[in-house]
């Protein structure tokens, strides 16, 4: 199902910590559900397929995200991008859907490195998923985007791809 998502649309992200049934979110007005499909090179969300199927059954757009562990290594970012693409396809997130890179500090991802190196690695991931037909998103916190990621460089290549964490 391909639909346009308007700016500032309401969406939620879910992982294995959430229910496999996404009806509570869609009933609350979610326009999309971002499902964690993978992390690093060795984790796939065991509930992802059920979460994607439930989202589709509720006539809401499913999207995917991958939790990055590539830090500032562009070669590892390409490998993780390919892993994210295969993970998304396995659970029914088709090309032309959004696939986000969740870039945060922790769980094996080190963001304290050089700003430009971090950005180069993120772009390597985004380029990989785009070459597989997915639409790119970069998810991170505002402080990290301001201090450790050159968002201008990312937006030059992929306008409107930022998803800023808000709690």
- Active-site annotation, residues: 13, 104
CB 159 within 8 A of CB 129: no
CA contacts within 13 A on the Cβ side of 71: 9
128 burial via Cβ count (<10 Å: 0-12, 13-18, 19+): buried
Provide the H-helix boundaries in 11-141: 23-27, 48-57, 74-90, 115-131
What is the C-alpha R_g of the chain? 15
């Amino acid at each position: 199902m391909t639909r346009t998502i308007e700016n500032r649309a309401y969406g939620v992200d879910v992982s294995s910590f959430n229910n496999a049934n996404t009806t509570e979110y869609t009933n609350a007005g979610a326009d999309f559900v971002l499902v964690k499909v993978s992390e690093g090179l060795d984790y796939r969300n065991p509930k992802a397929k059920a979460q994607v199927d439930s989202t589709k059954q509720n006539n809401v757009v499913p999207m995917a995200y991958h939790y990055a562990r590539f830090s500032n290594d562009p070669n590892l970012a390409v490998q993780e991008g390919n892993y994210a693409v295969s993970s998304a396809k396995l659970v029914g997130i088709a090309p032309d859907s959004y696939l986000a890179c969740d870039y945060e500090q922790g769980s094996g991802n080190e963001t304290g490195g050089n700003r430009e190196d971090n950005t180069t690695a993120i772009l390597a991931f985004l380029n990989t998923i785009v070459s597989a037909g997915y639409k790119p998103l970069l998810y991170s916190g505002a402080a990290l985007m301001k201090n450790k990621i050159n968002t201008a460089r990312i937006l030059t290549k992929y306008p409107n791809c930022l998803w800023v964490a808000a709690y």
